[in-house]
Amino acid sequence: MIKKVLFVQSFVLEKDALSNEILVWEIYLENFLKSKMPYLEFDLLYLPIEQDLGHLSITSYKEIELFEEDMFNMISELNFGLDCHTLIGISVTTSHHYISSLIIGEFFQKYYPESFIVFGGAHVSACPNDFINKNSIGDFIITGEGEIPLYNLIKRSLKKQERPLMLKGETIYNLNDLPPIDFSILDKYIKKFNHLSISLSRGCPFGCVFCMENTLLNNNNTKKWRSYSPKRAIQEVDTMITYGSQYEMKAYGFYDPTFGLDQKWLDTFLDLYTYEDQTYAWIETRLDVLNENLLYKITQNNFFLMYGLESYSKNMLKIMNKTNNPNLYLKKFERLLEIHRKIDSFFIINILVNHPGETRQTQSETFKKLEEMILKYNIDPQSFNIRFYHHFPGTRIYITFDEYHKKYRSFSFFPEWYKTEDLLKYGAYTVRPSIEFSLRESFSRYTENYQNLFTMSINNMDENKKRRNMLMIASIKKQISYLNSKKELFFEFLDKNQIEIY
């Protein structure tokens, strides 16, 4: 009988964006299990923070002896021992965490063989076969939403498995059925963070081919947008802010795939939201979800917005399956820009370049428009989050990549980059977008055009404004230097791996 549950958050040696986030997956799982089985004990090993604390000191995944020594030291600080009554849940949040999740699982299987090991997370959902071949470690894997299958697993009389069994996630249709959120499992780590984030909805009905949300789509009902009621959502927000205020937090966020997809829901939620003077919060949504009234209310409530524009090329918007009507989509975006300028509110625009199908022309169309936005709207280029395409398993484009190869002659040099330590940093970038646009040229143009946006913004300032914004200019110059360094390191990687050497 399972009496104890240890959640383990996997880690990366090369810090990524998620390394600075306190993730909530373990919180929801713990809350759900605790509501059903109050006798269970819980603890958490959040290894990205243990790295920051110096408790996880390896510099290579091959340093197994040092890793084991560090793990023993951390386990000695847990609230309970590990035995046949313990379930160990290992979160494989992205493909970058795959190798670390394996050495974590191997450690527990070697030294605590009576405990039960369960893998879950986005990469498990995307690539279950990575965890259920004949040489795999662990006992079970869970794909999709994990609360119900994990509960059903724990209430059974478990037996150790020679080969992991796969359990499919089950959709929670009414999020109000989830227990109230309780952050106490984070107590031992929370002081290392300056913000908190939760989710108020799940699912996304859109079909962007590059999006990892596809990894959770076990059925169409998971794809459907589901949310707490506005009143219950406010209760969750209040719990988050009350908890965070104990640690003097002022910044919060929401991990929803598409925040406020239902306009009526969003309008009611904003009417109930009363925290605008205490904090600021970020949300990410689609630009074609909002209307003018909602945008005003969002900014008045001290939210700042992140939009997934992705491209200003109509052709690329179609290839990405971002919209069926690029003309209307881009007109809506132009209108949002006008409103943002009018109310002087901050926002971030997500742009994706080098997506399979990209050409010199389509990339130029996007950067040309971004230049116009700087000149016309005086937008800070730091509002542009311009990402180079990552080839993530589980996305629709990854699964159907042969179609893009046939149509555009796109080519992935390392499709299983996540399985090799030397490829973890740059392997996901190594995709030639089209026959006429090499990977090297695409990255060069991306770097040069991105730098040009920063340079333009400085040149667009008058002398008085430059004197008033010396810190911002210093930050911009730092970004330019970073882009140059990133290009040099990436090209060294390409040279080392004999990629596109002519």
pLDDT band at 220 (very low <50, low <70, confident <90, very high): very low
Which tokens belong to 158?
A: 């478990």
Mean pLDDT (whole number) for 362-382: 90
Residue found by looking up tokens 């394996």 in the block: 102
- Percentage of the residues of the chain whose pLDDT score is greater than 70: 94
> Terminal CA-to-CA distance of the chain, rounded, Å?
62
Q: Which CATH superfamily is domain 4-168 in?
A: Response regulator (3.40.50.2300)
Helix (H, G, I), strand (E, B) or coil at 280: strand
> What would the mean pLDDT of 434-446 be, rounded to a whole number?
96
The count of residues in the chain is 502
Distance CA 139, CA 117 (A): 5
Cα torsion angle, 126, 132, 133, 139, sign: positive
- Written as one string, the DSSP assignment of 334-395 is HHHHHHHHHHT--EEEEEEES-TT--HHHHHHHHHHHHHHHHHH---GGGEEEEEP---TTS
Domains of the chain, by residue range, sit at: 4-168, 333-502
Q: What is the pLDDT of residue 460?
A: 75
pLDDT in tens, 100-143: 999 999 999 999 999 999 999 999 999 999 999 878 899 999 99
- CA 113 to chain CA mean position, Å: 32
Q: Are 112 and 86 in contact (CB under 8 A)?
A: yes
- Residue 388's pLDDT is 96
pTM over 0.85: yes
Exposure string of 213-233, with b = 16+ CB inside 10 Å and e = fewer, is bbbbbbeeebbebbbbebebb
The DSSP-derived string for 309-332 is: EE-S-HHHHHHTTS-S-HHHHHHH
CA distance 193 to 433: 37
pLDDT in tens, 297-315: 998 888 889 999 999 999 9
DSSP state of 179: P
Among 273-282, 341-350, 370-379, which is the least confidently predicted range? Answer: 273-282
Q: What is the DSSP letter of 187?
A: T
Count CA atoms closer than 13 A to 114's CA, side-chain side.
9
